[in-house]
Amino acid sequence: MKFDTPAGANPIDRQKVIGRPQDRLDGPLKVSGLAPYAYERHDVAPDAAYGVMVGSSIATGRIVHIDSKDAEAAPGVLAVVTAANAGPLKKADSHTAKLLAGPEVEHFDQAVALVVAETFEQARDAARLVRVDYASAKGRFDLKKEKAGAPPAPDGFAKAASKAGDFEAGFKKAAVQIDQIYSTPDQAHAMMEPHATTARWDGDQLTLWTSNQMIAWSVRDTAITLGIDKSKVRLVSPYVGGGFGSKLWIRADALLAALGAKATGRAVKVALARPQIYNNTTHRPATIQRIRIGADKNGVIDAIGHESWSGDLPGGGAEIAAIQTRQLYGGANRMTAHYLATLDLPEGNAMRAPGEAVGLLALEIAMDELAEKVGVDPVELRIRNDVQYDPEKGPNVPFSSRKFVECLTTGAERFGWNKRNPKPGQVRDGRWLVGMGMAAAFRGAPATKSAARVIVDGKGRVTVETDMTDIGTGSYTILGQTAAEMLGVPLDHVTVNLGDSNFPASSGSGGQWGAASSTAGVYAACVAARAAIAQKAGFNADDADFVDGHVVAGNRRVKLGDAAGPDGVTVVDQIEFGDLAKKYVQATFGAHFVEVGVDVETCEVRIRRMGGAFAAGRILNPKSARSQVIGAMTMGVGAALMEELIVDTRFGYFVNHDMAEYHVPVHADVPHQDVVFVDELDDKATPLKAKGVGELGICGAGAAVANAIYNATGVRLRDYPLTLDKILEGLERT
């Protein structure tokens, strides 16, 4: 099915199952401990051996010699795998650095060997006996030092630079100007489930039970890396304990497990230890951002410029932090640019709404500064600068749906924004200085090709199969809801099977495209199934409806199972998106509101309450969508107040590489969160009129915290995270 015209009325609009809060289909398995994760697949590999990775102790240079004799002689050891004995390996385009180093070392803790033994403890102890001699080289580890010489970034998933009008001239003549530098640190994904894989070879057929977000991509990259045909690779990942972008591609655990299994003739399990995850896998790169805004005395923007600097290994990409500035606010004169420094740190890559998440941390403080400078309420300022079309491309490219103003007004009313004292440092509650802040939320709404198989058996039960993954977001449930709505059966009559490359290739989970795309793929398969069942039962397919477990047309009513027949009906179809995304800007919007307390003596920050209003098309399952948004808002608190990878700029590694020292918010850090979804049906997004929502909640949340801290204390912080020492220093200056 091709989606190239706006969606009209269809069975999804009945909303008997879709659009209603539903318990997660996978919930009982997860809370009972019965959902099998990758490292726990003892059923498929009862005799598995265990592998432990040896990581590089230098950041850049060469391996001179690896002495593995002592390790090989240790009790229980079955093999020691290195680049020297692993056979020819290639590097897929998805990877910036090799997954197994040799002889070059590209970053600290890059895998240099795998020790395989009968038990994990034997493998762990033997890994310490591997001796590696290196010839280290001088590295580049400090973004601030490398910023001046950073060239323009190459184009990636988006253009690295854009412009409209004459920014420099417009900014120069503006009555009111904002020109500030903001910075965000390197950050880690910090998912609960580590990168983990169980690998087994059956002849020349490789199966990886692995924790992965994008099955089809990873089949491709595994085949490329190992130099085998894609048909020889199967990936299975039905349950993923968090990924946030770090598991979009295979990482060292998957490759090493495959190599270890090949070397030993046994199934092999490999899980990266928590400290290895931070330096061996990917992270969100640090940014330095300059934002310039020129406006009239009423705060209406005429010129807006956003430049961002980030770093990565040679061949890597930039953090596209200015991407939201291209479309969020109006202004005739515009400029965005990204610069990419070469850094010899572990690979920078996608993490929790890449681009907008860190870009809005800067942009939305700048907007708060503009609001104060012109004496306009921050909510009103954003309303004045709303635009219903792409401000870079002009009125001929409107938004498919843009309910930004509704989010602002609804969120402000629910939060009690009118009670805010606009003068900083005026509200106290005992020992606490109290302040309110707000920020816009914006995230693109891409959609991509996605396929599914739908099976209807003779009892009227429906099975959905697709390689779509559930990374804790509720994919099982919304795909089941889609099939139930389309085929007119209760949700408990639908079985959903996910995360297996033997199933039709879906969009996968990432980039906020997963829910909208994969449900559209199931929709397409259900349309085909409806036609096949109607034809089989002798109905005119255009007249047949599927309601209450029956196929109905005119005065004739047949049970769904009877219509499918004893052999049932099986169909495979996919959704392909046409050029609507070129004719319309497709995006999601929201508004964050935060109240903080800042201890007047210690400057400790406490979140008192959070609120948000969001527009993301049809909300398929309000229960799981709310859960996603409050989780994302919590991540926004982490980005604002605590998340920071500390770089040892002498040796090129992240020092705080565990959960004890890399801090993320816990329950005590985030009290009440009020989330409301603004009614919206976007008929140009997907046949379900839905858009993704999973990453929207983090976009802008941290800036709302920063603005609330300013309102509480009068201290304007532009360097994340907003730790108490920075507030103390600011108070001392005021």
Task: Provide DSSP, 338-374.
Answer: EEEEE--SSPB---SSTTHHHHHHHHHHHHHHHHHHH
Per-residue pLDDT tens digits for 613-657: 999 999 999 999 999 999 999 999 999 999 999 999 999 999 999
Span between the terminal Cα atoms of the chain, in Å: 62
Per-residue pLDDT tens digits for 118-138: 999 999 999 999 999 999 999
Task: Provide DSSP, 163-218.
Answer: EES-HHHHHHH-SEEEEEEEEE--B----SSPSEEEEEEETTEEEEEE--S-HHHH
Does the domain made of 398-443+586-733 have the CATH classification 3.30.365.10?
A: yes
Cα 331 to Cα 334: distance, rounded to the nearest angstrom = 7
Cα 526 to Cα 530: distance, rounded to the nearest angstrom = 6
| Chain CA centroid to CA 104, Å | 31
Q: According to the model, what pLDDT value does residue 238 have?
A: 98
DSSP H helices, 613-723, are 622-641, 701-713
Residues facing 312 on adjacent strands: 342
Active site residues: 695
Whether 161 has a pLDDT exceeding 90, the answer reads yes
Banded model confidence at residue 560, pLDDT cuts 50, 70, 90 = very high
Percent of the chain topping pLDDT 70: 100
**H helix or E strand, kind and range, residue 581:** helix 580-583
Banded model confidence at residue 479, pLDDT cuts 50, 70, 90 = very high
Q: What is the mean pLDDT of residues 385-405?
A: 98
2-35+447-580: CATH number: 3.30.365.10
> How distant, in Å, are the alpha carbons of 146, 304, 607 from that of 405?
40, 20, 25
Banded model confidence at residue 590, pLDDT cuts 50, 70, 90 = very high
Q: According to the model, what pLDDT value does residue 733 have?
A: 84
> How distant, in Å, are the alpha carbons of 129, 137, 260, 455 from that of 105?
20, 9, 21, 49
Do the domains at 44-138+196-273 and 398-443+586-733 have one common CATH topology?
A: yes
- In b/e form, how buried is each residue of 18-41, taking b as 16+ CB within 10 angstroms? bbeebebbbeeeeeeeebbbbbeb
Percent of the chain topping pLDDT 90: 99
Q: According to the model, what pLDDT value does residue 734 have?
A: 76
Banded model confidence at residue 41, pLDDT cuts 50, 70, 90 = very high
Q: What is the mean pLDDT of residues 534-562?
A: 96
3-class secondary structure, 272 = coil
Cα 363 to Cα 725: distance, rounded to the nearest angstrom = 23
3-class secondary structure, 390 = coil
Phi/psi at 588 (nearest 5 deg)? -115, 155
Task: Provide DSSP, 81-121.
Answer: E-TTTS------TT-SS-SS--SEE-STT-EEEEEEESSHH
Cα 322 to Cα 139: distance, rounded to the nearest angstrom = 28
Q: What is the mean pLDDT of residues 35-51?
A: 97
Cα 722 to Cα 727: distance, rounded to the nearest angstrom = 7
Does pTM top 0.95 for this prediction? yes
Question: Average pLDDT over the chain, rounded to whole?
Answer: 97
What top-level class would CATH report for the domain 44-138+196-273?
alpha beta
Per-residue pLDDT tens digits for 511-533: 999 999 999 999 999 999 999 99
Banded model confidence at residue 454, pLDDT cuts 50, 70, 90 = very high
Q: According to the model, what pLDDT value does residue 423 have?
A: 98
Nearest to 549 by CA among 17, 22, 8, 21: 17
Phi/psi at 702 (nearest 5 deg)? -65, -35
DSSP H helices, 642-723, are 701-713
Whether 463 has a pLDDT exceeding 80, the answer reads yes
Q: According to the model, what pLDDT value does residue 732 have?
A: 87
Nearest to 293 by CA among 328, 333, 321, 323: 333
Q: What angle do CA 481, 486, 488 make, to 5 degrees?
A: 90
Whether 721 has a pLDDT exceeding 80, the answer reads yes
Q: According to the model, what pLDDT value does residue 110 have?
A: 98
Hey, where are the domains in the chain?
A: 2-35+447-580, 44-138+196-273, 398-443+586-733
Per-residue pLDDT tens digits for 162-205: 999 999 999 999 999 999 999 999 999 999 999 999 999 999 99
**H helix or E strand, kind and range, residue 289:** strand 287-295
